[in-house]
Structure 1
Amino acid sequence: MNAVLGGFATLLAVIAVGWVTGRTGVLGAGAAEMLSRLSYYVATPALLLLTLADADPSALLSTTLVATAGSAVLCALLYSVVVYWWRRPKAAQLATGALSTSYVNAGNLGVAIAVYVLGDASYVAPVLLFQVLVLAPIGLTVLASGSSETSPRRLLTQPLRTPVVIGCAIGLALSMLDWRPPELVLRPIELLAGLAVPAALLAYGTSLHGSPRPATGSQAGPIWLAVGLKTIAQPAMAFGLGSAVQLSGTALLAVTVTSALPTAQNVFVYATSHGQDTELARDVILLTTMLSIPVLAGIAVLLG
């Protein structure tokens, strides 16, 4: 249990540092946006390149992905249908909420929880690959559609010009070719990749300073809908889908646990970089991070 609590504590500590920098103003005005752009355009592509270069693409074909990917897609679609019927927002605005209900923190937090609960960090690989190769490109393309300068041609070619997608494509190519670049090339990429998580967490923490109490404004309804879907519905759907494809034991526990992880900070970075519903992303991340602790503990007790 110490590994799980340690994973949450690490995230919250860096977010707290970001809040302090926002309160003191040491990074100046617009620090949250600057840090988000640094993470989005520079560090995250480098991190994903390295991650996929060392990954096994066959993990995308595993049976467990039916449950993890299926639950993510179902929650994103359910959120989109309900909120569109309720508020009629544009597609780009829906994208932030849809990602908030489906894009889990499968990185450092996911690894810590997988090691503690499942005894093997490799269980997060399928969902991580699905997110960076499928969810992120689709979500970023829809987010980009909200720009007034986006023409149909630019929208269709958006994935080819998105830093995150480019990083994923290069990493996947390296993995499929089974080729490792020389250390002289890898070292600066590794250095930049090390910025991705801290920059995203600091950007998120900085944005919390001066923000109203979570889920209190006009977006309260969509925020709580996203939180409920992410915290309760997604792991429940993953369990149901996993059972339907005959998963059992540790495999069923794995898909349920990974689907119960809180919303990733990447969603805030993506929303900020495209100027779409940053408040919703910020509040959903905060609330799901807090609520996922008892949910994960309960799943471990019931299925472990």
Structure 2
Amino acid sequence: MNGVAGTVIQLVPIAVLVVAGWWLAHRKIIAAEVSKPLCDLTFLLLIPAFLFPELYASDLRQLFDIQAIATYAGVSLTGMVIVGGLCRRFTNVGAAGTALRMMAACQINTAYFAIPVFVQLFDDAAPVLPVLVLQVCCQTVLVLIILELAENHRTAGRHPAVSVARSVTAALTTPVVIACAAAIACNIMSLTVPETVLSGLSFAGEAASPVALIALGLHLGGSTLRLRGATPDENAIIVVKCVIFPLMVFGLAEYVLPISDPWPAYLTMLAAMPTPQNVFVLAGRYGGDLDFAGSVVVKTTFVALLLLPVWTTIVM
């Protein structure tokens, strides 16, 4: 019980900030729409400011454990393919709907959820960074390509090659990727970054976790939690994201492959994070199922919060 109680106590600040944001939006003290500029601020400025000094000062060989990251990548990409195949076989959601369900089932909320959780539980968000880079540069690119090709087919617009190039460019030119690439380059080449720059970025980056959690709460406060009328595929995606995916990662990392500690715990906790808000953003941008996307983001966030003590007890 001490371990469970200790974990719950560590997670209290995270829950308090999310609930505070939800309450402010629910009581209409702060409009739920404010979550959008706060999310933009976090993603475009605060998270890159947080990532650069973290990566710059890290031991890249230890941080980018090839076997651990390859294991996570293999499970997540395999999961996306399986979910995509099942969607095509048993649903009529189309290519865009399938891509969004692949993303919802096997991608995680890194910037707005995983980083605060890892800071609180492990006092270190560095293990999140390789998975964040993997998602942006690989998984999100795959989803964007499918969405762009589906949009191109629907509108008979640009050439498919142009759509693919646009998708790759959009993913690889985000501030998060640029910050990571710059930090890794400076680290590898042993370039000296002035201390004033690093301290300034760290100062701004310290605000990333609380702002992200409050923004997430505001978003949840403006969403309607639909308990009835949920479609079977929606419920299935929630189970896959919150239970099956982390179990697959844990089983493979802990019992099948010789992955050294503490990476099995890190990878399992990462897999247990909720569906990213980008699913909802992309659903709106590409004319997808907004009701499905919003519901999955909200429900996986609540379920992930409830299950975090369980996963922590299992892996630690």
- TM-score using structure 2 length: 0.75
Is the 8 Å Cα contact of residues 49 and 205 (structure 2) preserved in structure 1?
yes
- Equivalent residue, structure 2, for 1:296: 312
Alpha-carbon separation, structure 1, partners of 2:294 and 2:52: 26
Is the 8 Å Cα contact of residues 77 and 139 (structure 2) preserved in structure 1?
no
Provide structure 2 residue ranges, at least 5 long, that are not aligned to the other structure: 152-156, 286-292
Instruction: Say if 1:166 and 1:23 are closer, same or farther in 2 by CA, change over 3 A.
Output: same
- Equivalent residue, structure 2, for 1:65: 69
Alpha-carbon separation, structure 2, partners of 1:24 and 1:231: 29
Is the 8 Å Cα contact of residues 80 and 103 (structure 2) preserved in structure 1?
yes
Superposition map of 1:102-121 within 5 A = 102-103=107-108, 106-114=114-122
- Equivalent residue, structure 2, for 1:118: none
- Secondary structure of the residue that 1:90 maps to in structure 2? helix
Deviates most, 33-42 or 105-114: 105-114
- Equivalent residue, structure 1, for 2:288: none
Instruction: Say if 1:287 and 1:180 are closer, same or farther in 2 by CA, change over 3 A.
Output: farther
Deviates most, 56-65 or 142-151: 142-151
Alpha-carbon separation, structure 2, partners of 1:210 and 1:28: 8
- Secondary structure of the residue that 2:258 maps to in structure 1? coil
- Equivalent residue, structure 1, for 2:168: 156
The counterpart of 2:249, out of the listed 223, 238, 248, is 238
- Equivalent residue, structure 1, for 2:59: 56
Shift in Å at residue 155 of structure 1? 2.2
Deviates most, 105-114 or 280-289: 105-114
Instruction: Say if 1:252 and 1:205 are closer, same or farther in 2 by CA, change over 3 A.
Output: closer
- Secondary structure of the residue that 2:191 maps to in structure 1? coil
Alpha-carbon separation, structure 1, partners of 2:200 and 2:263: 39
- Equivalent residue, structure 1, for 2:131: 131
- TM-score using structure 1 length: 0.77
Shift in Å at residue 205 of structure 1? 0.9
Shift in Å at residue 40 of structure 1? 1.8
The counterpart of 1:90, out of the listed 90, 95, 114, is 95
Alpha-carbon separation, structure 1, partners of 2:259 and 2:220: 40
The counterpart of 2:17, out of the listed 9, 14, 17, is 14
Instruction: Say if 1:54 and 1:273 are closer, same or farther in 2 by CA, change over 3 A.
Output: farther
Matched, 1:261 2:272: yes
Provide structure 1 residue ranges, at least 5 long, that are not aligned to the other structure: 116-120
One-letter amino acid of the counterpart of residue 245, structure 1: L
Shift in Å at residue 12 of structure 1? 0.9
Is the 8 Å Cα contact of residues 87 and 98 (structure 2) preserved in structure 1?
no
Q: Percent of aligned positions with the same letter in both sequences?
A: 19
Deviates most, 44-53 or 139-148: 139-148
Superposition map of 1:162-181 within 5 A = 162-181=174-193
Is the 8 Å Cα contact of residues 50 and 206 (structure 2) preserved in structure 1?
yes
Deviates most, 88-97 or 198-207: 88-97
Q: Deviations over 1:141-185 (max 9, x none)?
A: 356554769852422322342222112211222222233421332
**Paired residues, number:** 287
Q: Deviations over 1:236-256 (max 9, x none)?
A: 3224423332358x5585366
Alpha-carbon separation, structure 2, partners of 1:254 and 1:29: 34
- Secondary structure of the residue that 2:137 maps to in structure 1? helix
Matched, 1:207 2:219: yes
Deviates most, 61-70 or 188-197: 61-70
Instruction: Say if 1:114 and 1:72 are closer, same or farther in 2 by CA, change over 3 A.
Output: farther
- Equivalent residue, structure 2, for 1:185: 197
Instruction: Say if 1:95 and 1:138 are closer, same or farther in 2 by CA, change over 3 A.
Output: farther
One-letter amino acid of the counterpart of residue 310, structure 2: P
- Equivalent residue, structure 2, for 1:32: 35
Q: Deviations over 1:198-220 (max 9, x none)?
A: 222112211222533355445x4
One-letter amino acid of the counterpart of residue 94, structure 1: A
Shift in Å at residue 15 of structure 1? 0.7
- Secondary structure of the residue that 1:18 maps to in structure 2? helix
Please, what is the CA RMSD of the aligned residues?
3.3
One-letter amino acid of the counterpart of residue 291, structure 1: L
Alpha-carbon separation, structure 2, partners of 1:19 and 1:82: 34
Matched, 1:226 2:237: yes
Shift in Å at residue 134 of structure 1? 1.3
